[in-house]
Structure 1
């Protein structure tokens, strides 16, 4: 049973489906990728990154936060086994926002050739990586509205720059369905683009809803999901609606992921996204 913020997704063929990976014979064809991105709103690139590089960063993250009591005592940090007690919040925030987020390891991952050079190739231009990069973990069993990322599209938070920003969501370790990966609302980018063009969505930056099954009914479409593996990435437009699933892993493994954003250097850049991410940054 798939849930998001406690809402149970309807698992009928008209409301739930699978994400379509980009075939290997299209990976080097830029026009084919753009055709797919315009049609689907996303590119699901399996095995795009070296799994060992992803897992090395996963180990670094959980090792760094072990001091705050995040992982189970005596466990291998790369497994991300959640400790059965609450973390030291002050220590957690200090390590995350003073060490990990602005740190060299995180920056190296986000600017690795398979990311930065790939975006430059896809966009056909010099590219800019937004400094505000978000990294999240979720523990199994966390419940309540706001535990999982609610349904939203990225442009609602990025209206001070180009609307042609591309996001890359990177699973930092395997994220099978039960560990709570991203779900995408099929075809939603077309409706959002039309509403944005008509000026119908000029409300303050906010998520749409936590009620994923209700939103699928409203759009009369499916949520698309996948069992993500270390090395996979999702590239998506700023208009497609997406959300997180709940982590219900029975072995207490935490989901860890990051989302980063690239755009052409020549296009307007949202100045608010040029500082390191912090919970108090107002975005």
Structure 2
């Protein structure tokens, strides 16, 4: 049975280097993302979620269910040559003899494809998009009752809890560009800011393996940033439609706040919170929680795989553009 090396789980953060798109995070810019046990009282979970903007809950999903999705996913991608020879697909070990630029990640911003093989990159991207339609992904993970029931209780939405269809399966190959700094409301502005994101690591992720990192108490900065963006857009005479666009003139390319987490942390005097993840964990975060990821430097060259699932209160206005499964050029 696959179990990635959780090399950072019992060591201090100071014993490792954490690479981001614009450098190495210094000791004063990092901290630990606090876990929450599944049997924690609901009121305490709700308090933590409101106060921190996120809730990392251990063992929400059965480990074997998550690993089955990982197995199926990498079996699908194996024809691209991304996996190391003589390894089990569930391990997701990248073949370091391959050109990593042939295997870009979804949602990491426009990749620099200079020197890549366009045919391999297209094959890889097409298979990743196809994976979003597979029953082992849709039914095995996206609509898993364990997450649905948890969100219904955490939010109090009950039977109005709706899992929306557009999701983001993200592969992060060793040393490829990481996800830049952002908050999710940027991309779901055509509805209320009441949705909840469930980030699911599909497999174990070592602490330096490219998992999500969260800006400490960053949701207050996210909320203020959104207010300022809207004020600037209004002053510039933008239409309502233009203001809601994630890629409007007041945003960076790709809807990001910054491509560099190091620079962003220094600007705001906040720490990035990191942790190793295990199959079965889920991080729930609010629309303004600011997050990014480190560059994947897993010591065993494990491919980081995760997905963004989102839930809404179906009785309230929500961004119905997200009603359809991810497709190229959907503008979201």
Q: Same fold (TM over 0.5)?
A: yes
Aligned pair 1:8/2:21, yes or no?
Answer: no
Q: Which secondary structure does the structure 1 equivalent of 2:208 belong to?
A: helix
Q: What residue in structure 1 maps to residue 92 of structure 2?
A: 80
| SS of aligned partner of 1:231 | coil
1:61 aligns with 2:61: no
Q: Unpaired segments of 5 or more residues in structure 2?
A: 1-16, 103-119, 234-242, 247-254
Looking at structure 2, the residues matched to 79 and 268 of structure 1 have their Cα atoms a distance apart, in angstroms, of 41
1:189 counterpart (205, 219, 225): 219
The residue aligned with 2:156 is: 124
TM-superposition CA deviations, 1:14-55 (whole Å, max 9, x none): x211011124552x41x3222211100000101221111111
Match of residue 186 from structure 2: 156
1:102 matches 2:136: no
Q: Note closer, same or farther for the CA distance 1:234–1:201 as it changes in structure 2 (3 Å cut).
A: farther
Deviation at 1:61, TM superposition (A): 0.3
User: What secondary structure is seen at the aligned counterpart in 1 of 2:321?
Assistant: helix
Q: Which residue of 2 aligns with 1:134?
A: 168
CA contact (8 A) 1:4 1:210 kept: no
Query: Once the two structures are superposed, what CA deviation does each residue of 1:224-279 show, in whole Å capped at 9, x if it has no partner?
Result: 11011111110000101100110112322111111110011111121221111134
Runs of 4+ with >3 A deviation:
194-204
Change (3 A) 1:101 1:158: same
Q: Distance in 2 between matches of 1:201 and 1:227?
A: 38
1:47 counterpart (54, 59, 62): 59
Q: Are the equivalent residues in 2 in contact too, given 1:188–1:219 (CA < 8 A)?
A: no
**Counterpart Cα distance in 2 of 1:6 and 1:208:** 14
Asked whether the 8 Å contact 1:184–1:241 carries over to 2, the reply is yes
Q: 1:188 to 1:246 in 2, by over 3 A?
A: same
Contact 1:47 1:231 in 2 (8 A): yes
Q: Which residue of 2 aligns with 1:243?
A: 292
- Aligned length in residues: 274
Tell me if structure 2 keeps the 8 A contact 1:41–1:236.
Answer: yes
TM-score, length basis structure 2 = 0.78
Given that residues 140 and 250 in structure 1 are in contact (C-alpha distance below 8 angstroms), is that contact kept between their aligned partners in structure 2? Answer: no
